[in-house]
Amino acid sequence: MAKFNAPAAVWLSLSVLAAGGCSSPQHPNAESAAPSAGSLHAHLKTPDGRDVATANFEFTSGYVTVTVKTVASGILTPGLHDMHVHGIGKCEPNSVAPTGGPPGDFLSAGAHFQAPGHTGKPASGDLTSFEVRSDGSGYLVTTTDAFTRDQLLAGSKTALMLHATEDAGMANMPGMGGMAMPPRVACGVIGTT
């Protein structure tokens, strides 16, 4: 017959209680996983209209947590993809940039978003690169304090952009007002639905 060990039972109870009470913003529990009224969303599509990823923007205590997840594997090339918020909420394939120039995919979304009063580098809309695994799927959670919900929805709204590859210091491109980026391969207007 087993003996009851009171100190071990107390220690085990406290360990379970402490572990159950912990939560991580990177691994939310079921209650916090539901979108809040202040959250924003984007459905990213390729230039030919295929759904490629979803993005959720959760605003809490002066920070935004951005979660991006592919919805179909095999569309994006494996590797790192630059990801940015762009200053205009348009995702038009074969469009011209607001500053003019030759057409290209999603150029109507303009340049990287800059929050009011921010002029420095990195731009307010510069986010962590999105890594696509060898099977073409990807999942990223990142945080920033570079913009607010209201700023993303103001004026012409904003769009979330994925580029073909991570920027490798490409030369300036006329009409885009700054450093050229790899081709834009997925775009989604940021909004409440």
Query: To which H or E segment does residue 32 belong?
Result: helix 30-33
- Indicate the pTM of the whole model: 0.75
Q: What is the pLDDT along the chain (193 residues), one digit of tens a residue?
A: 445 454 444 333 434 334 344 333 333 333 333 444 589 999 999 999 999 999 999 999 999 999 999 999 889 999 999 999 999 999 999 999 999 999 999 999 999 999 998 888 889 999 999 999 999 999 999 999 999 999 999 999 999 999 998 654 443 333 444 445 689 999 999 999 8
**Which residue segments constitute the domains of the chain, with CATH numbers given?**
38-190 (2.60.40.200)
Query: To which H or E segment does residue 18 belong?
Result: helix 6-21
